[in-house]
Amino acid sequence: MTNEVGAKTRILVAEDDPVSRRVLELFLIKWGFEVVLCGSGIEALRLLERLDAPRLVLLDWMMPGMEGVEVCRKIRQFENRPYIYVLLLTARARKDDVLQGLGSGADDYVTKPFEPQELRARLNIGQRVLGLQDKLIASRDDLLFQATHDSLTHTSNRGVIMDRLRSERSRQGRGGGDFAIMFVDIDHFKHVNDMHGHLVGDAVLVEIADRIMKSVRPHDSVGRYGGEEFLIVAPSADAMGGLRLAQRIRQEIERRPVLVDGSSVSITASFGVAASTMNRLVDPQDMLRAADDALYHAKAGGRNRCELAATDLLDVAKQVEPPALAVAVREKPH
């Protein structure tokens, strides 16, 4: 089990006999455990159902209300929870009893009266098992992160963000609603690399990705599409909602320079926005082409600006007055 430096391993002791419970508590405290006590199987199960439950459990077989083996069976029905290591403690020592206890989901079995050093050794095994499991889970999670995220910016990689786009379009087809996407392209990024070097360029990419991630909504998705270009998928956003989100991100990127090793690098970005709405459902590939075309117009129009796809401009023009549309779509760079 992984613990912070100096932290004690928490152990739950479920024992209905108060004298035996006190003896166990004294030994466990002496061995450096943080002890949680209870006197029945029902109370033990209630404590173990909590998200902060101990993961090492010493469980008496015979208890009122619910026996230890039944508590074991209930524990093994938990889903999406860290593993709980259970030692059964009982006077039953027949082979059939041992098999029944282990068959209920217990990890180990200690007979009464217990020998303190044997109990301690078995608890140490439980700690090692939990520690190894935590390391395996951490390694699995790390491998999954590496497989789904860009190694430099830690945003989603291209495959994942494209899957997110297709998934959102599929969800829209089933449940309705609107969603928008936007391409974000860092302006004059080649100049940054040429003037300051690729290490500074990498630092700029990392910082800009961080600013984008902090500017989007919790349910939005951000991925590195390639080079200095990012793709954002924004659920529950129509064309104007996507444009407002793009403007907010653009302003956050422009607001202050990126500081790298004493160098101050002023950065801006251009945005191309496209939407799929219930009035006009758009295929993912067509959305990408529309957003890319809008990005091209943002670059051609002077950079550091946000542009709506042409089809979205027509839709929005039907909803707002021309002056308001001009202000929203053609906002001049600061």
212, two tokens: 């984008």
Active-site residue identified among 207, 228, 229, 307: 228
Nearest to 188 by CA among 257, 270, 273: 270
DSSP structural state of residue 90: E
Q: Specify burial of residue 188 (Cβ count, 10 A radius: 0-12, 13-18, 19+).
A: middle
What lies within 8 Å, CB to CB, of 300 at 6+ separation is none
Examine residue 113 and say whether the peptide bond preceding it is cis (omega within 30 degrees of 0): yes
Burial 121-131, CB ≥16 within 10 A → b, else e: ebbeebbebbe
Q: What is the dihedral angle through the alpha carbons of 303, 306, 312, 317, rounded to the nearest 10 degrees?
A: -100
Q: Is 118 a catalytic residue?
A: no
Q: Residue written as tokens 């104007």? A: 240
C-alpha to C-alpha distance for 78 and 114, rounded to whole angstroms: 29
Question: Could you tell me if residue 151 is left (phi over 0), alpha (psi between -120 and 50 degrees) or otherwise beta?
Answer: alpha
DSSP structural state of residue 334: -
List, by residue number, the catalytic residues.
Answer: 228
